[in-house]
């Protein structure tokens, strides 16, 4: 059954949908080879529907040596055999649509794998017709103002290629050479990739690493005008033929720079809100709302028809690129006390361990996210409070098998445990005995059931959550008071970020509103006196 779409005709589906990032390799293995696959995703669509998911984002599922877990594509037109076939993928789309869910996939524009035939040809000789498809140079001192992103591994954005005695440019791993977008053939090749998958029925793309498409001397090679021009061309193509499909920008940049990716409403439909995410964690740790308010005060207005995508965690490290050096050191000291919990400029841990495994804090974080503007994205497994495995390298510790049950391999796979792509989490706190879908589905107090009810509540009040946002003053510094205003009326959410119970008289403007019946959020109203449990919230409405 599909959920009712929001009423306001100007409101587009992606501006308030519940998104869910699902790692195909990690979700469900249907054929017992130890790797999750697309047929496994189909098996679990009912689960996602039960949770209330409206749009699934699949990280790359294409042919790849998997050195960067699929973000190193060696053929954009072939589904990785571990994941299944093109027919399986088409079936995922059909089955998801039948359940009222949309499907977006990653579009990795900036680079390919060094195993891609384009690159093999490009590196074969300086005169290869594909030479200019990548960025080659006689020296490694061009574009020296460009930062290195995978700081823990890479020492330069250039790698020397002995065969042809030139360097090639890469913003990520050495094995991910950047495509040269100054070459019109490259521009066309990637448009063709998009068209191919749109024809198969997908609902859009999460566009990977957008800011880095072009290089120009004397700049930091990020957010260049040329990158925006090309993105607009992609948007025009979508608008002409697939007007309901979206492009979601992964641009980990300061607010003013991200703002540019919305253009005049003619570039990206959506962009991740990177600056907000770490500030939610800061606010939770400090028990003070200030960091969240500051992040939103610095958020520029965005054009009609566009929207933010908000998140707490994803498949990468919790990036701290958008905070100051001092804030980063503090975040590391509280959230990544062990050096191996850190990666590049971030923290490679999952939501539940970050919040001390405390379901009240996890639900508070989600209620905050859901009451702010934007469409929230959940990361698979966080809805049941899955843990991480910091013994695994890189970002693998947050990409372990989904924990469906306390049975063999957490119900993820029938393979021999030694054959799993990664081991299941098995520690005392977050291991499969304590954290799994099956037991949470039958326990009405579980995190899963609470998430499900929160999502249902949000959908029920969606018309109130699509308008503007304001923050109300005059509360304890631990109370985040969010007011959303739309044609439907006002919705106010009060969130207690602290470990203390709080009681206070409601100011007159809220006092006249009707509380939403949501006792498990940890808030009560006694005449005009509000009581908030530690980490509790209260919601009010006025139509």
Cβ pair 82, 415 in contact under 8 A: no
Q: Which is nearer to ligand GLC, 64 or 450 (CB)?
A: 64
Taking the complex as a whole, how short is the minimal distance between the CB of residue 174 and ligand GLC, in angstroms? 12
**Which token pair is 481?**
């008071």
Residue 131 vs 399, nearer CB to ligand GLC: 399
Residue 99 CA to residue 83 CA, distance in Å, equals 22
Active-site hit among 208, 260, 382, 533? 208
Question: Per-residue x/- mask for ligand GLC, residues 296 to 315, rule CB under 6 A?
Answer: -------------------x
Candidates 71, 169, 430, 535; binder of ligand GLC (CB under 6 A) is 71
- Which is nearer to ligand GLC, 49 or 64 (by Cβ)? 64
Edge to edge, the sheet with strand 166-169 lists 136-137, 166-169, 158-161
Sheet-wide strand order for 318-319:
318-319, 346-347, 342-343
Does residue number 272 form part of the binding site for ligand GLC (CB under 6 A)?
no
Total residues in contact with ligand GLC, by rule CB under 6 A: 9
Token pair of 21 as six digits = 């990032």
At its nearest, how many Å lie between ligand GLC and the CB of residue 28?
Answer: 21
The residue among 150 and 540 lying less far from ligand GLC, judged by its C-beta, is: 150
Q: 144: alpha, beta or left, given left = phi > 0 and alpha = psi -120 to 50?
A: alpha
The DSSP element (H or E) to which 530 belongs, if any, is strand 529-532
Using CB under 6 A as the binding rule, whether residue 222 contacts ligand GLC is answered as no
In angstroms, what is the minimal distance from the CB of 23 to ligand GLC?
A: 10
Residue 21 sits in the site that holds ligand GLC (CB under 6 A): no
In terms of CB distance, is 254 or 515 closer to ligand GLC?
Answer: 254
Name the minimum Å distance from CB 246 to ligand GLC: 17
Please say which residue, 208 or 382, places its beta carbon nearer to ligand GLC: 208
Site string (457-476) toward ligand GLC, x via CB under 6 A: --------------------
d(CA 151, CA 504): 48
* Residues of span 141-180 touching ligand GLC by CB under 6 A: 172
* Residue in 69, 114, 178, 250 annotated catalytic: 250
CB 396 → ligand GLC: shortest distance, Å? Answer: 11
Among 37, 114, 260, 316, binds ligand GLC (CB under 6 A): 316
Q: In whole angstroms, give the CA distance from residue 222 to residue 149.
A: 12
68 binds ligand GLC (CB under 6 A): yes
208 is catalytic: yes
CA distances from 435 to 48, 232, 335, 508 (A): 17, 44, 21, 43
Residue with CB nearest ligand GLC?
Answer: 71
277 versus 493: smaller Cβ distance to ligand GLC:
277
What is the nearest approach in angstroms of ligand GLC to the Cβ of residue 538? 36
Segment 182 to 211, residues that bind ligand GLC, using CB under 6 A: 208-209
Asked if 250 is an active-site residue, the reply is yes
Query: What's the Cα-to-Cα distance from 406 to each of 31, 39, 136, 409, 443, rounded to whole Å?
Result: 19, 22, 52, 8, 15
Beta strands in 10-152 (DSSP E): 19-21, 55-58, 62-63, 75-79, 102-108, 136-137
Least separation in angstroms between CB 250 and ligand GLC: 6
What long-range pairs does 187-194 form, CB within 8 A, spacing at least 24?
187/230, 187/233, 189/118, 190/107, 190/109, 191/233, 191/234, 191/237, 193/76, 193/77, 193/107, 194/107, 194/234, 194/237, 194/238
Can you tell me the distance from the alpha carbon of 125 to that of 38, in angstroms, rounded to the nearest whole number?
A: 38
Record the tokens describing residue 28, joined without a space: 């469900």
> What is the binding site for ligand GLC (CB under 6 A)?
68, 71, 108, 172, 208-209, 250, 315-316
Q: Which residues are catalytic?
A: 208, 250
């Amino acid at each position: 059954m599909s959920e009712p779409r929001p009423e306001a005709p100007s409101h587009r589906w992606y501006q308030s949908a519940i998104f869910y990032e699902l790692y195909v390799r990690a979700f469900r293995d249907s054929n017992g080879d130890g790797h999750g696959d697309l047929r496994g995703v189909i098996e679990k669509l009912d689960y996602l529907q039960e949770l209330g998911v409206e749009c699934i984002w699949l990280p790359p599922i294409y042919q790849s040596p998997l050195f960067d877990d699929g973000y190193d594509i060696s053929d954009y037109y072939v589904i990785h055999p571990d994941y299944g076939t093109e027919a399986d993928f088409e079936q995922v789309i059909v089955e998801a649509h039948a359940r009222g869910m949309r499907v977006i996939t990653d579009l990795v524009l900036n680079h390919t794998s060094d195993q891609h035939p384009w690159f093999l040809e490009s590196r074969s000789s300086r005169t290869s017709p594909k030479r200019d498809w990548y960025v080659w140079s006689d020296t490694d001192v061009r574009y020296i103002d460009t930062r290195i992103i995978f700081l823990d591994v890479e020492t330069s954005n250039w790698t020397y290629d002995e065969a042809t005695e030139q360097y090639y440019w890469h913003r990520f791993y050495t094995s991910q050479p950047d495509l040269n977008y100054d070459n019109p053939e490259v521009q066309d090749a990637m448009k063709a990739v998009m068209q191919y998958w749109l024809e198969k029925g997908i609902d859009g793309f999460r566009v990977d690493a957008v800011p880095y498409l072009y290089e120009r001397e004397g700049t930091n090679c990020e957010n260049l005008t040329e990158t925006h021009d090309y993105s607009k061309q992609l948007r025009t193509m979508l608008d002409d033929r697939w007007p309901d499909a979206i492009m979601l920008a992964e641009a980990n940049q300061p607010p003013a720079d991200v703002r540019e990716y919305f253009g005049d409403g003619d570039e990206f439909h959506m962009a991740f809100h990177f600056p907000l995410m770490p500030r939610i964690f800061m606010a939770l740790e400090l028990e003070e709302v200030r960091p969240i308010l500051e992040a939103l005060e610095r958020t520029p207005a965005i054009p009609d028809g566009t929207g933010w995508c908000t998140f707490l965690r994803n498949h990468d490290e919790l990036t701290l690129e958008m905070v100051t050096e001092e804030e980063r050191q503090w975040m590391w000291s509280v959230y990544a006390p062990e050096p191996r919990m850190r990666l590049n400029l971030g923290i490679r841990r999952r939501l539940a361990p970050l919040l001390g495994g405390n379901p009240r804090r996890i639900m508070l974080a989600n209620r905050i996210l859901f009451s702010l503007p934007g469409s929230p994205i959940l990361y698979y497994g966080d809805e049941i409070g899955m843990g991480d495995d910091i013994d695994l390298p890189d970002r693998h510790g947050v990409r372990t098998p989904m924990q469906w049950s306390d049975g063999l391999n957490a119900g993820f796979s029938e393979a021999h445990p030694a054959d799993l792509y990664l081991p299941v989490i098995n520690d005392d706190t977050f291991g499969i005995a304590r954290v799994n879908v099956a037991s949470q589905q039958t326990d009405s107090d579980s995190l899963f059931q609470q998430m499900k009810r929160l999502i249902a509540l949000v959908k029920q009040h969606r018309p109130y959550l699509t308008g503007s946002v304001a923050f109300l003053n005059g509360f304890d510094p631990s109370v985040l008071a969010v007011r959303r205003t739309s044609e439907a009326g006002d919705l106010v959410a009060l969130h207690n970020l602290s470990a203390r119970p709080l009681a206070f008289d409601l100011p007159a403007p809220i006092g006249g509103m009707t509380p939403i019946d949501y006792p498990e959020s940890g808030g009560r109203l006694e005449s005009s006196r509000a009581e908030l449990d530690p980490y509790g919230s209260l919601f009010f409405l006025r139509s």
